[in-house]
Amino acid sequence: MSNQGTHNKIPVAIIGTGNIGSDLLVKVLRSPYLTCAMFTGQHPDSPGIARARELNIPTSADSIAAIERNPGCCDIVFDATTAEAHRRHAPILARLKKFAIDMTPSQAGGMCVPLLNLDDSIAKQNVNMVTCGGQANAPIARAIMAVHPDTQYMEVISSIASKSAGIGTRNNIDEYTQTTSDGIRALAGVPQVKTIIILNPADPPYLMHNTLYAEIKQPDLPALERSVKDTVEKIREYVPGFKLLYGPVQESGRVTTITEVVGRGDYLPTYAGNLDIINCAAVAVAERYAKKKLGLA
Amino acid sequence: MERLIFIVDSTLRDGSHAVSHQLNADQVRGYAQRAELANIPLVMVGHGNGLGASSLQLGRSKLPDREMLAIARQELKRSKLGAFLIPGFGTIKNDIGPAIDAGIDALMIACHCTEANITRQHLQYAASRGVATYGVLMMTHMATAGELLEQAKLMESYGVQGVLLMDSAGAYLQRDVAEKVGTLVSGLRTAVGFHPHNNLGLAVANSVAAVEAGASIIDGTARGFGAGAGNVQLEVAIAVLHRLGYQTGVDLYRLMDAAEYVAREVMKKPITIDAVTLTSGLAGVFSGFAPHAIRAAERFDVDVRDILMELGRRKAVGGQEDLILDVAMNLKQKKGQRPEDFQLESLS
């Protein structure tokens, strides 16, 4: 790598110009290690595309074909389309040898929550970012498992503002629910997980609100508190708006922990913490990959 | 005046809120047999919040959904068997697929009244497997007639046989029913239904108002068995509709027998409008919140009515039972500072 005073940046492409893609663009542009070489979707008139053009980012309305035509444009591809579309895109990105970061709940690649398996994830070619509910709850679930490894059942309830759930999320609500459970089960090692997702249209909008219940008969609350608070601090290193609202407390055979995510207000206002948590996680993955490639890690 | 009204019986679904989802196998079988004898067109079965909703958040069912469905399936011949699901609570893989395998004839997919596009996947999947589908908009007192029509049209575009408006909080007055049901009837080609709750004592009157505004589906429960102040008491609504000259095809005497069975064998206490359920209706809060709010009020030593009014102000939607804890804690904290501010000021 040539160093021109500082290091180079690794070029990325973003497929999908909706809420997730547009918020990712802001975060990529802020990164010291990443630059956006292509912002591509299906709708030439989308507000996301218009905004990217104003920022002088190369755009296209040919979706993944824009990358197939010019595969040298990027090393990393964020796919912020839909689960169905990503299942089509995954083999193409594998053939083009791109590091794929899948923002959809497709589970085409290995699931990743940075706090839990960042180093393993960047060794893969395709990384799945689970869901915003998975990003917010899997680390807390792991923190509880660390204290009570025999826990058999956990449940997460994630409420998000309707305005922050774009059409992609809505079209994927079923995969979203399933993948959140699957991700927490796989990454936190909880045998049985139940997920409930609520969209609330209240105005002013709700912040992303997560309640995690763990069935534990005799919880060691001081140890749980230390473990959960420590985890929350570590999440805040890459998701600054993540906070512990309440708990862990015990009531009727279950331990309840409530967290909230205040967004940075990059693309949507601060209520859209659900965008922030998954996008901050994805950028953390891309930056780790980029630093390794730049010889900085 | 001889219009046929399609009757949906949610006793074995929504009703189970009243017993914290603890319906047992004998009760499911006993009621299903009686509903069959009464010639009920569609009998809904499953957890009170729908397939896959058995949880710490909403209450666990005594019987898994698939066992309830299997028992009811054995008993229902002329009557159709239906299930209910809210996207985000259950999934196609875990819940809808198995319910269709268990032999349901109809599936209702429900969502908060402004979120109809989250029902598309589930409605289209069920239709592709040959099941009759209905869309349900919940908590519809929170949206205008125009907004509801827009959402109902989305459901219509997903191929449903009907769209039902739920008065989940029991907050409607008759004029609200006339306006909202009427708007859907004139704007949709598909059938329109209404699902009342009785918090303000208007469930039967609202059923009549819905039918007179053109609704052709009424969804209620025997003896009003259901969350909070209960649903519309189906046998009463049907008796009134028959008096008015509408047809339902339901054998009213046999349905009365079924309702007596519910009162005798299933209910733990009579369904009634009390301080909590009346406040819930005034606050426009989901009827299923009441038992959770009562528990939180006891735990934090605050007035349950304050919890309900605050939930109404926060515009909580169905499924947000975890907010009750937030609200109760906040009230408790504030109560320490300025108790006089929390004396039901919002009821005025």
Residue range A229-280, pLDDT digits in tens: 999 999 999 899 999 998 899 987 899 999 999 998 888 888 888 888 999 9
Q: Same structural domain for residues A137 and A256? A: yes
Residues A177-227: pLDDT tens digits? 999 999 999 999 999 999 999 999 988 888 999 999 999 999 999 999 999
Helix, strand, coil share (%) of chain A residues, nearest 5:
45, 25, 30
Among A239, A54, A30, residue whose Cα is nearest residue A39? A54
Query: Who among B93, B118, B322 is closest to A178 (CB)?
Result: B93
Q: Are A266 and A281 in contact (CB under 8 A)?
A: no
Closest-CA residue of B relative to A210 is: B322
Pick among B47, B89, B118 to test the A interface (most A CBs inside 10 A)? B118
CATH 3.20.20.70 in chain B, residue ranges: 6-266
The count of structural domains within chain A is 2
Average pLDDT on A57-84 reads 95
- Which residue on chain B is closest to A178 by alpha carbon? B91
- Cα separation, A1 vs A3, in Å, equals 6
Beta strands in A144-276 (DSSP E): 153-161, 192-200, 208-215, 242-251, 254-261
CA B227 to chain centre: 8
Q: Strands (DSSP E) along A70-152, which ranges?
A: 76-79, 99-102, 110-111, 126-128
* Cross-chain residue pair B115–A199, CB shorter than 8 Å: yes
What is the reported pLDDT for A6?
56
Residue B59 β-bridge partners? B55
SS3 sequence of chain B: CCCECEEEEEEECHHHHHHCCCCCHHHHHHHHHHHHHCCCCEEEECCCCCCCCCECCCECCCCCHHHHHHHHHHHCCCCEEEEEECECCECHHHHHHHHHHCCCCEEEEEEECCCHHHCHHHHHHHHHCCCEEEEEEECHHHCCHHHHHHHHHHHHHCCCCEEEEECCCCCCCHHHHHHHHHHHHHHCCCEEEEECECCCCCHHHHHHHHHHCCCCEEEEEHHHCCCCCCECEHHHHHHHHHHCCCECCCCHHHHHHHHHHHHHHHCCCCCCCCHHHHHHHHHCCCHHHHHHHHHHHHHHCCCHHHHHHHHHHCCCCCCCCHHHHHHHHHHHHHHHHCHHHHCCHHHC
CATH architecture of structural domain B6-266: Alpha-Beta Barrel (3.20)
Burial degree of B174 (CB within 10 A; 0-12, 13-18, 19+): middle
Reported confidence tier of residue A81, pLDDT bands at 50, 70, 90 = very high
Q: How confident is the model at residue A23 (pLDDT cuts 50, 70, 90)?
A: very high
pLDDT at A283: 97
Indicate whether A231 belongs to any domain: yes
Residue A141 shares a structural domain with residue A260 = yes
CB atoms within 10 A of CB A236: 13
**Could you tell me if A195 and A179 are in contact, meaning their C-beta atoms sit under 8 angstroms apart?**
no
Q: How many CA atoms lie within 13 A of A254 on its CB side?
A: 16
Q: Are residues A36 and A122 in the same domain?
A: yes
pLDDT of residue B73: 98
What single DSSP character describes residue A6? B
Beta bridge partners of residue A198, listed in sequence order: A159
Residue A110 and residue A159 share a domain: no
Q: List the single residue in A155, A170, A174 with the smallest CB-CB distance to B57.
A: A155
Contact in structure between B291 and B260 (CB atoms under 8 Å): no
For residue A45, is it within any domain? yes
In a domain, A283, yes or no: yes
Backbone dihedral angles phi then psi of residue A292, each to the nearest 5 degrees: -65, -45
Write out residues 204-243 of A within 8 Å (CB-CB) of B.
209, 211, 213, 215
Cβ–Cβ of B317/A171 closer than 8 Å? no
Interface contact A170-B117, CB threshold 8 A? yes
Q: What ipTM does the predicted assembly reach?
A: 0.87
A33 in B contact zone (CB under 8 Å):
no
Domain check: are A209 and A119 in the same one?
no
Does some domain include residue A3?
A: no
Residue A2 has pLDDT above 50, yes or no: no
User: What letter would DSSP give residue A73?
Assistant: G
Kindly state whether residues A121 and A180 are assigned to the same domain.
Answer: no
* Closest residue, chain A, to B313 (C-alpha): A202
Q: Determine contact, residues B9/B43, Cβ cutoff 8 Å.
A: yes
Residuewise pLDDT in 10s, chain B (348 residues)? 579 999 999 999 999 999 999 999 999 999 999 999 999 999 999 999 999 999 999 999 999 999 999 999 999 999 999 999 999 999 999 999 999 999 999 999 999 999 999 999 999 999 999 999 999 999 999 999 999 999 999 999 999 999 999 999 999 999 999 999 999 999 999 999 999 999 999 999 999 999 999 999 999 999 999 988 999 999 999 999 999 999 999 999 999 999 999 999 999 889 999 999 999 999 999 988 888 899 999 988 999 999 999 999 988 888 888 889 889 988 988 766 543 433 333 333
Q: Write down the pLDDT at residue B287.
A: 86
Residue A256 at interface with chain B, using a CB cutoff of 8 Å: yes
Chain A: give the shortest CA distance to residue B60, in Å: 12
Chain A nearest-CA distance from B298, in A, is 13
- pLDDT averaged over every residue in chain A: 92
- The residues pairing with A78 across neighbouring beta strands, listed in sequence order, are A14, A101
Contact B149, B187 (CB under 8 A): yes
Domain-located, residue A5: no
Q: What pLDDT does B207 receive? A: 98
Which one of 3.30.1330.10, 1.10.8.60, 3.50.30.30, 3.40.50.11540 gives the CATH number of domain B275-339? 1.10.8.60
Under an 8 A CB cutoff, do A174 and B122 touch? yes
Domain with CATH 1.10.8.60 in chain B: 275-339
Q: Do B117 and A162 touch (CB under 8 A)?
A: no
> Under 8 Å CB-to-CB from B54, ≥6 apart: which residues?
B21, B47, B60, B61, B64, B65
Q: How far is A120 from chain B (nearest CA, A)?
A: 29
Task: Kindly report the nearest CA distance between residue A195 and chain B, in angstroms.
Answer: 7
- Would you say residue A282 lies in a domain? yes
Contacts 24+ apart (CB under 8 A), B322-325: B322/A157, B322/A159, B322/A209, B322/A211, B322/A258, B322/B57, B323/A159, B323/A209, B324/B289, B324/B292, B324/B293, B324/B296, B325/A211, B325/A246, B325/A256, B325/A258, B325/B296
SS3 A13: strand
Q: Which domain holds residue A194?
A: 132-272
Q: Are residues A158 and A85 in the same domain?
A: no
Say which of B93, B121, B322 has its CB closest to residue A157: B322
A1 pLDDT above the threshold of 60:
no
Q: Same structural domain for residues A208 and A82? A: no
Interface size between A and B, measured as CB pairs under 8 A: 94
Question: Cβ distance A33 to A290 under 8 Å?
Answer: yes
Burial classification of residue B313, based on how many CB atoms lie within 10 Å of its CB (0-12 exposed, 13-18 middle, 19 or more buried) = middle
A164 & A258 share domain: yes
State the smallest CA–CA distance between residue A198 and chain B in angstroms. Answer: 6
Place of tokens 């589908």: B133
Give the pLDDT mean for A163-186: 90
Q: Which residue of B has its CA nearest to A169?
A: B118
A31 touches chain B (CB under 8 A): no
User: Do both A95 and A33 map to the same domain?
Assistant: yes
Neighbouring-strand partners of residue B79: none
Has residue A266 been placed in a domain?
Answer: yes
Residues of A in contact with B319 (CB under 8 A): 157, 196, 198
